[in-house]
């Protein structure tokens, strides 16, 4: 009886395998074609999006110690905007672009999460 159940299982597994044919993808690297399979994890991965330079987010969770800018202030790339304390270290957050501060979404003493929006540029 176990032999019969094993053969039935292998038949159903074979049918599933036939229905789930591998979907090969071709990669072109330095004019050489490679044929590969993509993992399920890779297929579910969120597609890459270009970062919006006008939105500054926290790169690490921490506490805002001090803010050096106000709404409406013009800043230059590399100018110090605020100090974010994380893991007992103070991190200077610098302006990534030349621009004007449109909104400051935090205040000194606030705890921020990773990727939380902290400053918007106009």
Q: What is the DSSP string of 50-87?
A: ---TTEEE-SS-EEEEEE---TT-EE-TT-EEEEEEET
Residue 49 lies in a domain: no
Q: Which domain holds residue 78?
A: 55-121
Residue 95 lies in a domain: yes
Here the CATH number for the domain that contains residue 61 is: 2.40.50.100
pLDDT tens track for 4-52: 444 444 444 444 445 677 788 898 999 999 999 988 898 899 998 888 9
Angstrom distance (rounded) from CA 122 to CA 104 = 11
0.85 exceeded by pTM: no
Residue 72 lies in a domain: yes
Count: domains in the chain: 1
Residue 110 lies in a domain: yes
Residue 24 lies in a domain: no
Give how far the C-alpha of residue 25 lies from the chain's centroid of Cα atoms, to the nearest Å.
24
Tokens coding 37: 């399979």
């Amino acid at each position: 009886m176990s032999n019969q159940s094993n053969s039935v299982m292998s038949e159903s597994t074979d049918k599933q395998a036939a229905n789930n044919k591998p979907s090969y993808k071709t990669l072109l690297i330095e004019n050489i074609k490679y044929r590969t399979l993509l993992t399920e994890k890779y297929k579910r991965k969120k597609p890459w999006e270009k970062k919006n330079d006008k939105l500054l987010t926290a790169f690490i969770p921490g506490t805002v110690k001090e803010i050096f800018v106000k709404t409406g202030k013009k800043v230059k790339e590399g100018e110090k905007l605020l100090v974010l304390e994380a893991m007992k270290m103070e991190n200077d957050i610098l302006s990534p672009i030349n621009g004007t501060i449109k909104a400051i979404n935090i205040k000194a003493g606030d705890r921020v999460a990773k990727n939380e929006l902290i400053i918007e540029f106009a």
